[in-house]
Amino acid sequence: MSDRSCLSIVLAAGLGTRMRSSMPKVMHEIGNLPLVGHVLKALSASGVKETAVVVGPDMPELEKTVANLSEGAQCFTQVDRLGTAHAALAAREVLEEEHDDVLILFGDTPLITTDMISEVLGALAAGADLVVVGFETANPFGYGRLLMKGEQLLAIREEKDASDEEREVTFCNSGIMGFAGSKVLALLDQIGNDTANGEYYLTDAVELANASGLKVVAVNAPEEDLQGINTRAQLSDCEAVFQQRKRLEAMARGVTLQDPASVYFSHDTRIAQDVVVEPNVVFGPGVRIETGSRIRAFSHLEGAVVGAESQIGPYARLRPGTNLEGNNRVGNFVEMKNAAVEKGAKVNHLSYVGDASVGARTNIGAGTITCNYDGFNKHKTEIGSDCFVGSNSTLVAPVTLGDGAFIAAGSTITKAVSENALAVGRSRQSELEGRANVLRSRFKAQKQSK
């Protein structure tokens, strides 16, 4: 971005009525990020530093989300929902400040790109007073048509007001606009509400700008990038586009996806080259996979770091706080949470490791459980390096195993185990001669008596 100053206004006051939801529309998620978060992310990546988000009344969760997602964003409330121009003017306080450029966007268009934003800003820098983002579509029904004369955009004609000739136009309005900062307030203040429902529409700014002799242009962006969301079906459509983009990006960076359509990414998934991802893997938020690792089928990862040359799954679950240093093995039906695992350690089968540290080269046997919760508080298990924990062991936290400790299979460990010590925490086996036949006879009689 150039050194021109830019204010973006994101309209996000929609209630989500058509989504049959009690949650504000822009709080619904794609790739585990709220719709408005995608817009804020694109603006930040484009170098836009000042953003105003227009919310509806009584939307504290949305305001909190905006604050968490964008450090420089301010929220302004549109008390009465009286149209897009009225919504933009809810941010009058910042509109009155001096900006070279002002962008007005929508919080429910999560697929917008930095290329589109850059094109609008480029047109403003080149001397346009008003820039409208349009798209070509094979089915323009229902969209406002962009009526051009050479490079000048003359008007936006809504479907109901268009002539038969104008309805043949396939260049349509996305609703996204860019204004010269010196012209924006004057244009917005001129917009009236002489409409059937008494609302103030941003689209009127085009004809007002033309009447004032200003330069009004349109830029053409891909229709796919400009999809807005009003229904659950449209949310699903956009999720599909987002996921396909992430899959293609991953493969272009050198990641092997054996069955791309079955792998699901979050907005912040980071996967290094030469990682192999098998079918039916889901990446939740906050996952990083280092080079040479393999994520086997039907695994679910969230908030986890997988170090280089590791193998995860199949059917593994890594929960937030899991950090594998590298060359680790986490096998089938293993769940890990808040676990720091050093290089070369293995947890291969049917185990739960939570609130724990596992030292280098340690082997955790099948069916091992770190008992980290006492019903009130979480406690930590510390397992040293080069330990062996036998199958079906229970480690009752807080507990520490010293380096090289050996835990006999089937043990319940409640006290610290010294370095290189063998710990056996189970009842002594006993044998009663012939007792098996006695029990069989008793059980058979009980069954026959029922």
Rounded Cα distance between 51 and 70, Å, is 9
349 is catalytic: yes
Rounded Cα distance between 125 and 101, Å, is 8
Largest pairwise CA distance in the chain:
106
Q: For residues 385, 386, 388 and 394, what is the CA-based torsion angle, rounded to 10 degrees?
A: 0
- Contact between residue 202 and residue 88 where contact means Cβ atoms under 8 Å apart: yes
Query: 247 CB contacts (<8 Å, ≥6 apart)?
Result: 257, 260, 261, 263, 265
Rounded Cα distance between 161 and 85, Å, is 20
The DSSP 8-state label assigned to residue 365 in this structure reads: P
The neighbour count for residue 195, using CB atoms within 10 Å, is 11
Residue 256 in tokens: 């092997």
What are the percentages of helix, strand and coil residues in the chain, rounded to 5?
A: 25, 30, 45
- Contact between residue 318 and residue 333 where contact means Cβ atoms under 8 Å apart: no
Residue 421 in tokens: 């010590």
Residue 305 in tokens: 């770091």
CA–CA distances in Å: residue 72 to residues 66, 75, 93: 9, 10, 15
Phi and psi dihedrals of 187, rounded to 5? Answer: -70, -45
Q: Which amino acid is at 334?
A: V
Closest by CA position to 368, among listed 313, 309, 427, 411: 411
Peptide bond into 314 cis (omega under 30): yes
Exposure on the CB side of residue 398, measured as CA atoms within 13 A: 4
Closest by CA position to 280, among listed 328, 334, 326, 316: 316
Exposure on the CB side of residue 131, measured as CA atoms within 13 A: 26
Rounded Cα distance between 304 and 148, Å, is 51
Active-site choice (38, 86, 300, 349):
349
Residue 20 in tokens: 């049959």
Residues known to be catalytic = 349
